[in-house]
Amino acid sequence: MLDEILTPDERAVVARAKTFAEEHVGPNAARWEWERQYPLETIRAACRADLHTIELAKKHGGQGQSFSCKLRAFEEIARHDFAFAFALINHHNAVARFARDGKPAHVARLLPRMIAGEVIGCAGLSEPGVGSDFAALEMSAVKVDGGWKLNGAKAWITNAAVAGLSVIYAQTDKAQGYRGIACFAIEAEREGFHRDKPFALHGGHAIGVGGFQLIDYIAPDEALLHPPGQAFKSALAGINGARTYVAAMCCGMLQASLETAVRYTQQRQTFGQPVLAHQGVRWKLVDAATDLEAARLLTYRAARLIDEGADAVLPAAHAKKFATEMALERIADCIEAMGANGLRAEYPLARHLACAKIAAYTDGSIEMMNERIGALLPQAFA
């Protein structure tokens, strides 16, 4: 298992994440959903527990740990709530990316506020009419004296409900296609930033997903993180990691669902014996447990390759495709094993099932994974 190759310090991080999730996420996840809340105070509590600086370089005040360490920590958090884990990891990623790519004076001004949880970060890729076709971005960036003027809208952005800093991508020259895309650090406090009403989601409201509009927003030169010609490549560089940690979160949700279903079917009696003793139920849970092991092997392999700096495009796509597909099917099987009680609000299974469907769309849909894997078939089986 992946924990075996983590350092003692990294295993301590995973243990801290597990304890935090048990104490702060699990007891509140259902309430966030029913009350339609973004868990800002708990996100800030996670910041105080240093769960958003796992990969952040030590020179910037972070822990400088491996991608695998971050993945395992957020797998543990997702056992209790995918939506919270996804919101927090997006803030984590924005912190690390801004610290790495931002101009020193800009970083010095804003990074301490992000580390403190005062300014929440997000990534701004998707738009109202643009999802997987990243090269078709419509948000425009025009060079002006002292900076760039941006106009356009972003949608389906995690943490958009509260984010104070967004790492966004915009087109500087449509004739250049993906080569014209640039990356900027956008501050919500600046004139021209207009936040949209957060989207209402079933099963994942704590993600804080929504959008914003930039209307004649002036991004100073210091806000340019990657110029045209480099930004598209930088965005793709992070996608393998995103696909891999989403797969890990699916494993966390199925782990929790299996634990719940096994406990329930051991205790519930039908026809004079525990439900788990019935072969039809038991074998479904066996299949779920086997798929969980397979998904973890695919996911952890991709994580190791990412840490090694090796080519993880195909392994990450395999992990994302398999983990999201199996989570949708096997969490549903866990609900089925519990009968109608599997849908009751005191159990997390229905919420996990809804979030598994969200996971199937994030950072590349299952269909996109099929296309990615299909494109690489000639190389893989030459």
The H-or-E segment that residue 217 falls in is strand 210-220
Please check whether residue 52 is in contact with residue 115, taking contact to mean a CB–CB distance below 8 angstroms: yes
Q: What percent of the chain has pLDDT over 70?
A: 99
Helices of type H across 163-278:
231-237, 239-267
Q: Which residue has the tokens 């701004």?
A: 124
Quick check: helix, strand or coil at residue 186? strand
Please check whether residue 334 is in contact with residue 257, taking contact to mean a CB–CB distance below 8 angstroms: yes
pTM as predicted: 0.94
Please report the pLDDT score of residue 200 as a whole number: 85
Please report the pLDDT score of residue 134 as a whole number: 72
Please check whether residue 117 is in contact with residue 44, taking contact to mean a CB–CB distance below 8 angstroms: yes
Report how far residue 17's alpha carbon sits from residue 26's, in angstroms, rounded to the nearest whole number.
12
Please report the pLDDT score of residue 146 as a whole number: 92
Query: Is residue 299 very low, low, confident or very high in pLDDT (cuts 50, 70, 90)?
Result: very high
Q: Which residues pair with 210 in a beta bridge?
A: 157
Report how far residue 295's alpha carbon sits from residue 2's, in angstroms, rounded to the nearest whole number.
13
Number of C-beta neighbours around residue 200 at 10 A: 9
Please tell me the least confidently modeled range out of 62-76, 152-166, 337-351: 337-351
DSSP class of 198: P
Q: Where are the domains of the chain?
A: 2-115, 121-228, 238-376
Please tell me the least confidently modeled range out of 206-215, 228-237, 287-296: 228-237
Quick check: helix, strand or coil at residue 2? helix
The string of pLDDT tens digits covering residues 198-207 is 998 888 899 9
Domains 2-115 and 121-228 share a fold: no
Please report the pLDDT score of residue 131 as a whole number: 67
The string of pLDDT tens digits covering residues 363-375 is 888 888 888 899 8
The string of pLDDT tens digits covering residues 47-56 is 999 999 999 9
- For domain 2-115, the CATH superfamily is Acyl-CoA dehydrogenase/oxidase, N-terminal domain (1.10.540.10)
* For range 251-276, the mean pLDDT: 92
The H-or-E segment that residue 151 falls in is strand 147-157
* For range 38-60, the mean pLDDT: 97
The string of pLDDT tens digits covering residues 108-164 is 999 999 999 999 999 988 888 876 667 778 999 999 999 999 999 999 999 999 999
The candidate with the shortest Cα–Cα distance to 211, out of 225, 222, 198, 223, is: 198
Rg (CA), the chain: 21
What CATH number does domain 238-376 carry, 1.10.10.10, 1.20.140.10, 3.40.50.1820, 1.10.3720.10? 1.20.140.10
Give, in words, the CATH class of 121-228: mainly beta
Q: Which residues pair with 152 in a beta bridge?
A: 214
The string of pLDDT tens digits covering residues 149-166 is 999 999 999 999 999 999
What is the rounded average pLDDT for all residues in the chain? 94
Report how far residue 323's alpha carbon sits from residue 243's, in angstroms, rounded to the nearest whole number.
10
* For range 78-104, the mean pLDDT: 97
